Each structure stands twice: as structure tokens, then as C-alpha cells.
Amino acid sequence: MYVIYLRKSRKDSDLEALGIDVLKRHEETLLELARARSLPIGAIYREVVSGDSIDARPEMVRLLSEVESGIWEGVLVMEVERLARGDTIDQGRVQRAFFYSNTLIVTPGKTYNPAIENDNEYFEFSLFMSRREYATIKRRMQAGRIRSVKDGYYVGNIAPYGWRRVKADDCKHFTLVPDEKENPVLKLMYDFMGNKKYGFQKTCSALTGMGIVSRSGKPFNPATVKTIISNPVNIGMLRWNYRKSQKAIVNGKIATSRPKADDYILAKGKHPGCISEDLYYRANSVNSSMTAPVKRSCRIQNPFAGIVRCSCCGRVMVRKKMSAKQPRDYLICQYAGCATVAIELDELENAVLEWIRNYIADYKVNNFESADDSEQESLRSILVNLEKEKETTLKQRGSLFDLLEQGIYTKEIFFERSTALEDKIKDFDKKIESVNADIVRLDLSKKNRSTFVPKCQELLNAWDTFDAADKNTALKNVIERIDFTKTEKNARGQRHSSFSIDVFPRISR
Ligand SMILES: [Zn+2]
């Protein structure tokens, strides 16, 4: 949401003398600007007193404290000078507030983004300050931040994962408290990595399996988890300047990189840690390789590695090498208390190949194809409708400005409606995204279906030329998993055991 700030300046006095309501005019101009850029407006602050210092301007005091707490995406104002024109201290205060909270300043001529500090335009933002002054202030701010970190305060704008930023006891600085929602997830990550010895990938899958997503709403990825669990903030420490931005000119443009620094500051934080140091170091000592646990050097010996599960206990079954007593390879359930009986590998292999042959024969006969197209079509029409509805809502948002201008809506109703419409638009965006994802998923499964039979055919044709590792790859290509059931031991001399397999093909219907 954005806010409009209106304030008279000395140069308006001529117009005022002609009886023109300058602020009213500015309000119209800025509302027009908001409409043109489709910026949602949450409030309009109109300064009626004309003090130069911030403290003499009540609306400015309010605006500044809101900007400092980061509640506005941006402030619409006629010119930057309308924000600050007092002494240097006031200017610094304004600049600092926008700078720290990353709040945009939108004027009819230009949008200033304090986050782009090296942008030449940024120095225009500090028009009331010379480049030198600005550099000095920035250095002082930096020194102040370092001082604060050493004192144990949190100086970042965004709290690290698992934490929430709150005002410290001195009411000036910030510190961290565990975030109700994220902190349990953080602890879970340490438990997975430190106690259960999961790798990064497995940790991510486990979280995703529990329906837990990252702040951005996407599933966690190994790199993010690594960044999160290696942050000493979790054991009550603060790290600053670990990854300070470094700028370089690349192809005439400014490129920013954030290499890991070795001269960073590590200080004891005011906040207590939420993880024991012991667990912290254990979790971070996990081998950082993010690949599957199979070592490259030794080829897989079991064609069913990771595919066959015991139907009794759900565990993955493993190969038992041949021995003097048992001249053939077997697949067994390693779990001591489990009733599942071992199966000879060759016997299982034949059964699986047989299953594949039958499946593709059925598949060709029944040709499951057509059914899904109707689903795709209905999804597409849902999408079209959603987009239409969103379009209508966007138009409604536009006409809000008219209703305000015509005096049909009071400002209160205007803000109320515009917030409601904003929520509605976000809701449409979410729905559109989810329908799109469904369409993509259906497309993929359609493609998958058309390649599934050829893949199986290929596997059957080349099977005899495969070694165990090739067989494993080929099977994993077409089969998700096989549940194996066998509870009776073979009778003496019995060649064919009685067992059953439940095969889950890697294909979506
Ligand atoms: Zn078992």
C-alpha cells in the first residue's frame, strides 16, 4: 500500500493568493498518478500547519514513524523537498527512515528507490545534501550499525528465518524473538540434520512432505536450508557484514555480488539462542554434498535398489549377496521383527518384466488417452473466467478514484474499498497461479503418457544387455515403487515361490 503526503511550500503562496486550493490540486494530481501506475492508496496525509522542522509538522511525524516501521511500500509526494526542508538533522532523519525501510518516494517526475544506493538518481534524492555529506552520513550510519551489532542488537531490516524483529528494551534498537510459526520449523531442520543425519535434500523433501513451505511460499531448497541452519543467530550470536555487497562495473552496468567475507563481525546477541551449540555444530557438520547417497565409485549391484518396499513394514528391501549356503542373490527385508520372507532376485526380476509386458499390452488396448483432455479444457475456461473477473476488479479499482473525485465516496469508504479490492486482486492472482500450475501438471502427464509405452518397450528390448546399475536406472525411469508381499517360506525343492507384487508405474492417469 502507498500513502499520499500533502504539504504546502513557500512557493505556493502566489497561487494561494489567487484563491487556489493548492493542496486540493496536489491531491488530485497524486491520485491521478496513483491511478495511472495502479498503486493502491491506503491513506492521505494533509499537512495543514506549515512548520519547517519535522516536529512542528504532526502529519510528518506520523508519516515518518510509519515509514520507519516499514508499513508503506511507498510515499507519493509532489516533490522530494516537500518531505524535508528543515535543518540537516531533519533531512538526515528523513533520508535514514526511507533508506532503512526501503520505502519508495514516488513523485510525478520520478520514482526514487533508496535501495539502489549506487544509482546516480539516488543522489538526486539527497538533493538537499551534497554527495560528500551523504557519504559521511552513510559512513556514520555504518559505524553506528557496527556499534549496535557489537552491543548485541539486530540491525538487519528483515529478521532471519525462525525469528521476528522486535523493539529492544532501550526502545531504540531492535532485537529478535522466536517467530511462533517459523521457529518450530527451524528446530525441525536442526533435528533432521543434526540428530537424524538427513542430508539437505532429504530435509527439504521431508519438510515439503509435511506441507511446510518457505517464506516465499515455495518448497525449501537445499541452499536455503543451508543458509538458514548455518546462521549463528540461532545460537544467540549476531553476524554482520558476512556478505556485504561489492559493486563493480560490468559491461557498463553496475553489478552487485555478495561474496562471503572473512572479516565479518561476530558478536553475542541480546537474544538468547534457540538451539544448543552442540546441535548447531552437529547439524552443520553434515556432509554438504546434495546428491543421492549412492557413491559414484561403486556401481549399484541391486537392480531393485530403492524401488522395492516390504509390504509388511514399508521399509526398502535390500540385496543379500550370494554365499556358500545360498548360491543366488536374494532381496530381503532387513528388519528383524518383520514377517517378510526373502525372494530370489531372478524370480522377482522375471515377475516385474512380466508385469511391464502385461501393462503396456493393456495400455495399448484400452488407450486411456482421451479422458483427460476435457479436464484440461475446463481448467482453461476456469482460467479465462478468473482473468476476466480480475480484469473487472482492476477496473473497479480504477473507478474508485472517480467516485472519490465526484465526492460520492468519502475518503474512509475509498480506503476501505481499495483495501478490499486489493485483497480480492491478490486472491485472484493466487487462484490463477494455482490453475496454471494444474494445467502445466496435466500437460506434463500427457507428455509422460505418450512416452511411457516406448520407454517400457525400450527397457524390455535392451534388458539382457544391461548390468545391475543400468537395470536400476531403466526401472526407476518407468516405475515409482514396487510393494512386495511374501510371507511363506518355500518348501524344500520348491522352484516357484508364492509372492505378489504391487507395482506403481511412473505415469499419471
Ligand atoms: Zn519388512
pLDDT digits (tens, 9 = 90+) for 280-330: 988 888 654 333 344 444 567 899 998 999 998 888 898 887 776 767 888
Distance of CA 294 from the midpoint of ligand 1 (Å): 22
Say whether both 501 and 381 belong to one domain: yes
Distance of CA 25 from the midpoint of ligand 1 (Å): 79
Say whether both 332 and 274 belong to one domain: no
Residue 31 is predicted with a pLDDT of 92
Contacts 24+ apart (CB under 8 A), 182-189: 182/215, 183/274, 185/212, 186/161, 186/162, 186/228, 186/229, 186/234, 186/274, 186/275, 187/274, 187/275, 188/212, 189/225, 189/228, 189/229, 189/283
Instruction: Give me the CATH number covering residue 63.
Output: 3.40.50.1390
Residue 261 is predicted with a pLDDT of 62
- 37-66 pLDDT, tens per residue? 888 898 999 987 766 677 788 898 899 888
For residues 75 and 125, the answer to whether their CB atoms sit within 8 Å is no
Residue 295 is predicted with a pLDDT of 41
Question: Does 53 map to a domain?
Answer: yes
Say whether both 306 and 191 belong to one domain: no
Instruction: Give residue 120's pLDDT band: very low, low, confident or very high (50, 70, 90).
Output: very low
**Could you tell me the residue range of the domain that residue 272 belongs to?**
163-284
Say whether both 387 and 416 belong to one domain: yes
Q: How much is the mean pLDDT over the chain?
A: 82
Distance of CA 468 from the midpoint of ligand 1 (Å): 23
Is the per-residue pLDDT at 371 higher than 50? Answer: yes
b/e map 373-384, b = 16+ CB within 10 Å:
eeeeeebeeebe
Residue 275 is predicted with a pLDDT of 92
Distance of CA 307 from the midpoint of ligand 1 (Å): 14
- 163-192 pLDDT, tens per residue? 999 988 888 889 999 999 999 999 999 999
Question: Percent of the chain beyond pLDDT 70?
Answer: 84
Residue 509 is predicted with a pLDDT of 53
Contacts 24+ apart (CB under 8 A), 411-420: 411/44, 414/41, 415/41, 415/42, 415/43, 418/40, 418/41, 418/42, 419/1, 419/40, 419/42
Is the per-residue pLDDT at 403 higher than 80? Answer: yes
Instruction: Give residue 8's pLDDT band: very low, low, confident or very high (50, 70, 90).
Output: confident
The residue among 269 and 372 whose pLDDT is bigger is: 269
Residue 293 is predicted with a pLDDT of 41
Is the per-residue pLDDT at 368 higher than 70? Answer: no
Residue 233 is predicted with a pLDDT of 94
Residue 178 is predicted with a pLDDT of 95
Last residue within a domain, chosen from 284, 312, 338:
284
Say whether both 116 and 192 belong to one domain: no
Last residue within a domain, chosen from 284, 305, 336:
284
DSSP string over 173-234: SEEEEE-TTHHHHHHHHHIIIIIS---HHHHHHHHHHTT---TTSSPP-HHHHHHHHT-GGG
Question: Across 8-151, where does the E strand assignment appear?
Answer: 41-46, 74-76, 104-106, 111-112
Residue 400 is predicted with a pLDDT of 86
Say whether both 360 and 485 belong to one domain: yes
Q: Across residues 376-392, what is the average pLDDT?
A: 89
Closest CA to 10 of 52, 41, 47, 63: 52
Instruction: Give residue 244's pLDDT band: very low, low, confident or very high (50, 70, 90).
Output: low
Distance of CA 476 from the midpoint of ligand 1 (Å): 21
Distance of CA 484 from the midpoint of ligand 1 (Å): 9
Say whether both 192 and 305 belong to one domain: no
The residue among 63 and 124 whose pLDDT is bigger is: 63
Total of domains in the chain = 3
Question: Does 367 map to a domain?
Answer: yes
Question: Does 152 map to a domain?
Answer: no
Query: What are the distances in angstroms from CA 214 to CA 162, 175, 220, 408, 409?
Result: 11, 22, 5, 43, 40
Residues, CB-to-ion distance under 5 Å, ligand 1: 310, 312-313, 333, 335, 338, 340
Q: Across residues 121-136, what is the average pLDDT?
A: 54
Residue 123 is predicted with a pLDDT of 42
Distance of CA 485 from the midpoint of ligand 1 (Å): 9
Question: Does 194 map to a domain?
Answer: yes
Residue 190 is predicted with a pLDDT of 93
Longest dimension (CA), the chain: 114
